[in-house]
Amino acid sequence: MAQIELPDRGQPLDISYLSKIAFEINRVADLVSVGSGLSKIKYRDTNTPTQALTSNIIFYAETQKIVDANLSVQPNAPSSFDYSGIFKTTPVVLCSVTSVTGVSNLYPVLSGVTQSSCQVNVFSSATSGAFSADVSIIAIGERISS
């Protein structure tokens, strides 16, 4: 990268010197632009809910045991995961069944994801039988500024 010489004390700034500074700033901006493919640097110029600062991202994780004594084609009662007071906006939430006893092919379905909580129903391809399962969630979002 080209070096711009520092001005001497008391030296007046001229058009040539300002032009060099502007040229180098524009060149660096072109190198880090998304379309150039030359850099993996990402930058943003506004703070919107879709562009949170990495330093403001927070993770919340929880595992709950769900027990259903009479599984039917209908879903079991949803389990609620409460993470109120943590996120500034609605987080991205992932869930999975981490252990199962009683039946096979259980899968979780998220519903009602909000800034403060979410609901998880567990479904199965089985039409009857009791089961217990551990369901884990991870919520990722922007923390409430303190």
pLDDT for residue 117: 92
Q: Which of 91-95, 128-132, 138-142 has the lowest mean pLDDT?
A: 128-132
Statement: 54-142 belongs to CATH 2.70.98.10: no
Rounded CA separation 112/28 (Å): 44
pLDDT tens, position by position, 18-30: 778 778 777 777 7
- Decide if 132 contacts 102 (C-beta within 8 A): yes
Q: Sheet harboring 129-142: ordered strands across?
A: 57-71, 129-142, 92-101
The ranges assigned to domains in the chain are: 1-43, 54-142
Of 70, 142, 66, the residue nearest 109 (C-alpha): 66
Rounded CA separation 89/86 (Å): 9
Tell me what the pLDDT averaged over the chain comes to. Answer: 76
Of 34, 38, 39, 56, the residue nearest 47 (C-alpha): 56
pLDDT tens, position by position, 64-76: 888 776 655 455 6
Both tokens assigned to 110? 């998220």
Claim: this prediction has a pTM higher than 0.95: no
Q: Which of 63-72, 92-101, 102-111 has the lowest mean pLDDT?
A: 63-72
Alpha carbon separation from 37 to 14, 34, 42, 54, 67 (Å, rounded): 35, 7, 11, 22, 50
